[in-house]
Structure 1
Amino acid sequence: MTGAAAFSEAERGAVAAALAEIACAAGEILRRYHRGPCPHALKPDGSPSSAADLEAEHLILGALAGRFPGLAVVAEETRHDAPASACFFLVDPLDGTRDFLAGTPDYSVNIALIAGDRPVAAALAAPGIGRVWWAGAAAVEAAVTGGRPGPGRAVRARAAPTAGLVALGSRRHGDPETATCLAALPVAETRAVGSALKFGLIAAGEADVYVRCGPTMEWDTAAGDHLVAAAGGCVVAPGGGPIRYGRFAEGYRNGPFAALGDPGLAGRLALPKRRPASAPAGVLAGGAVRAAESPPAKP
Structure 2
Amino acid sequence: MTGAATISGPERERIAAVLAEIACTAGEVLRRYHRGPCPHALKADGSPSSAADVEAEDLIVAALAARYPGIAVVAEERAQSVTTRPADLFFLVDPLDGTRDFLAGTPDYSVNIALVAGARPVAAALAAPGLDRVWWAGATTVEAPVVAGRPGTGRPVRARAVPETGLVALGSRRHGDAETATCLATLPIRETRQVGSALKFGLIAAGEADIYVRCGPTMEWDTAAGDHVVSAAGGCVVVPGGGPIRYGQGGIDHRNGPFAALGDPALAARLALPARGRDAPAESQVSAAHP
**1:119 paired residue number:** 121
Offset from partner CA, 1:170-194 (integer Å, 9 cap, x none)? 1100000000000111110000000
Quick one: which of 121, 142, 145 aligns to 1:143? 145
SS in 2 for 1:11: helix
Q: What RMSD, in angstroms, separates the aligned Cα atoms of the two structures?
A: 1.3
Contact 2:250 2:278 in 1 (8 A): no
**2:55 paired residue number:** 55
Structure 1 pair 97–205 and aligned structure 2 pair: CA distance change class (3 A): same
Paired letter, 2:28: E
Offset from partner CA, 1:44-65 (integer Å, 9 cap, x none)? 0000000000000000011001
Quick one: which of 215, 224, 227 aligns to 1:225? 227
Contact 1:25 1:148 in 2 (8 A): yes
Contact 2:140 2:156 in 1 (8 A): yes
Contact 1:247 1:253 in 2 (8 A): no
Structure 2: stretches of 5+ with no match in the other structure: 280-291
Paired letter, 1:120: V
- Mapping 1:160-239, distance limit 5 Å: 160-239=162-241
Offset from partner CA, 1:207-257 (integer Å, 9 cap, x none)? 000000000000000000000000000000010000000135260000000
**1:7 paired residue number:** 7
Paired letter, 1:213: C
| Structure 1 residue 7, shift from structure 2 partner | 1.4
- 2:36 paired with 1:29: no
Aligned residues: 276
Q: Take 2:226 and 2:80, find their aligned partners in 1: how far apart are those partners?
A: 19
Q: Take 2:233 and 2:80, find their aligned partners in 1: how far apart are those partners?
A: 28
Offset from partner CA, 1:137-191 (integer Å, 9 cap, x none)? 0000000001100011000000000100000001100000000000111110000
TM-score (norm 2): 0.93
Offset from partner CA, 1:85-114 (integer Å, 9 cap, x none)? 010000000000000000000100000000
| Structure 1 residue 6, shift from structure 2 partner | 3.3
SS in 1 for 2:28: helix
- 2:76 paired with 1:76: yes
Q: Which runs of 4+ in 1 moved over 6 A?
A: none
Deviates more, 1:133-142 or 1:247-256: 247-256
Paired letter, 1:128: G
**1:296 paired residue number:** none
Greater share of helix: 2
- Mapping 1:92-131, distance limit 5 Å: 92-131=94-133
Q: Take 1:163 and 1:126, find their aligned partners in 2: how far apart are those partners?
A: 28
Structure 1: stretches of 5+ with no match in the other structure: 278-299
Structure with bigger RCO (C-alpha 8 Å, 6+ apart) = 1
Q: Take 1:80 and 1:69, find their aligned partners in 2: how far apart are those partners?
A: 22
Q: Take 1:160 and 1:80, find their aligned partners in 2: how far apart are those partners?
A: 40
Offset from partner CA, 1:13-48 (integer Å, 9 cap, x none)? 000000000000000000000000000000000000
Q: Take 1:177 and 1:250, find their aligned partners in 2: how far apart are those partners?
A: 26
Q: Take 1:217 and 1:20, find their aligned partners in 2: how far apart are those partners?
A: 21
Contact 1:99 1:106 in 2 (8 A): yes
| Structure 1 residue 2, shift from structure 2 partner | 6.4
Paired letter, 2:194: A
Contact 1:166 1:189 in 2 (8 A): yes
**2:286 paired residue number:** none
Structure 1 pair 231–114 and aligned structure 2 pair: CA distance change class (3 A): same
| Structure 1 residue 79, shift from structure 2 partner | 3.4
- Mapping 1:149-160, distance limit 5 Å: 149-160=151-162
Paired letter, 1:58: D
